[in-house]
Amino acid sequence: MAFGALALHPQLLSRLSTLNFKQPTDIQAQAIPVILSGKDVMAGAQTGTGKTAAFCLPILHQLLNAQELNQQDRHQLSNDSAQKKLAKALILTPTRELAQQVHHNLSQLIGDSAIDVALIYGGVSTQAQKAQLAAGVDIIVATPGRLLDLLRQRATSLAAVDYFVIDEADRMLDMGFRDEIIEVLKRLPKQRQTLLFSATLDDRIFSFSKRLLTQAKVIEVHARNQTAVTVTERVYHVDAKRKCDLLCRLIQAEKWQQVLIFSRTKQDADKLVKQMSQRGVKVAAFHADLSQSVREQVLTDFKAEQLTALVATDVAARGIDISQLNYVVNMELPFKQEDYVHRIGRTGRAGQAGHAITFLSVDDEPLLIKLEAYLDKRLPQQWYPGFEPDLNQIAPVTRKTKKGSLKQQARQKALAQSSKR
């Protein structure tokens, strides 16, 4: 299928051609017609599947059509200092980096079109953001906290919003933005189209969506809990104290470039960066304790391949958009199985081959059992020559971490999910 078959506005088709986008991805092909029909949508799509364009393209299509129908009125408004454009679309994202990514994608698709987009996030001065909103915009891309601050200061209004998008809804809930989203919801018109996109669709998302969506069309381009088929997964058994040495050996021996490394905590990330730097690896940390300007510079250096590795926490990494990231490394398994899917979804994007490496020490073995039950598959496990684990170490066993208990927990969760489909 070509983009032309989706009946998008000619200006958008021209921009897609200029950007060399020829065929829609699965999520785009399924979601765009539904969104254009006016229905609410709840879409499950992994990172790197083109989900941002899946909601941006139909919104831009509607705005361009509306501009053509109201050209004369729009001209009059633009010359009336007492009035300004009110936003017709609101896109909420959980992080500043993701907001920047969405704004960048919108800017590419808009091209020379007369559509104005405001980028609203915290950590920077509000003055420029207030000025942009005061001038009038068509689309607001925002993080919840800063948007609410500006709404309370009456710097803008959501009274004219026709399209409301919640991007990365699962991460929104993980980061505790439930109350903020509800507060934003109160300021939106009841008559609107709501689009919810999430890397995973679980019980929390379905429960929360009842407050947001009306007779929504559910779209899932992959089976739930599924990792991308283009990603090769490897699990190395290694003692915890030797993980950094093995990581540096792999980077140097296999000549890895642009490696995204996940660490559970900001403190562990900083410690790992120090250790890797001492071993000659060009590496930087990427987490919430860094200032916005530092994070932006680190990401710029990483994309420019001035850094070999980036050590990130789960929350910070959600906004990282690198189209050809070949390697993702888990220094340890995340406590939430969904986070494993998020993490390795950073590689193997848009059909490209990717590699996901996990270092498994004995204390993480109970998490591996739960993860394999969640994914419904076994992950290939191996030893790396020279870094074989100490077999005298024993995984800590409690009533909750016994293998049978873990499998029973996973089975009950899977049954509960399947009964709701």
Report the C-alpha gap between 348 and 202 in whole angstroms.
Answer: 23
User: Considering the domain boundaries, does residue 226 fall inside one?
Assistant: no
User: Considering the domain boundaries, does residue 225 fall inside one?
Assistant: no
More confident residue, 305 or 413: 305
pLDDT, tens only, 99-121: 998 999 999 999 888 899 999 99
User: Considering the domain boundaries, does residue 418 fall inside one?
Assistant: no
- pLDDT, residue 73, reads 55
Three-state SS at 205: helix
Of 154, 189, 220, which residue is a domain's last? Answer: 220
Q: Are both 215 and 254 inside the same structural domain? A: no
Q: Give the tokens for residue 144.
A: 């919840």
CATH number for the domain that contains residue 13 = 3.40.50.300
Q: Are both 74 and 201 inside the same structural domain? A: yes
Q: Are both 127 and 173 inside the same structural domain? A: yes
- pLDDT, residue 77, reads 47
Chain-centroid distance, C-alpha 142: 14
Q: Are both 235 and 208 inside the same structural domain? A: no
Q: Are both 242 and 382 inside the same structural domain? A: yes
Q: Are both 242 and 362 inside the same structural domain? A: yes
Show Cβ contacts of residue 92 under 8 Å, excluding neighbours closer than 6 positions.
Answer: 142, 143, 144, 147, 164, 165, 166, 167, 172, 181, 184
Report the C-alpha gap between 45 and 47 in whole angstroms.
Answer: 7
Three-state SS at 354: strand
- pLDDT, residue 284, reads 95
Domain count, the chain: 2
pLDDT, tens only, 69-94: 877 554 554 444 445 689 999 999 98
Letter string b/e over residues 125-163, b meaning 16 or more CB atoms within 10 A of that residue's CB: eeeebbebbeebbbbbbbbbebbbebbeeebbebeebbb
- pLDDT, residue 421, reads 47
Q: Which domain covers residue 285, as residue numbers? A: 231-411
More confident residue, 318 or 250: 250
Of 220, 245, 277, which residue is a domain's last? Answer: 220
Q: Are both 289 and 165 inside the same structural domain? A: no
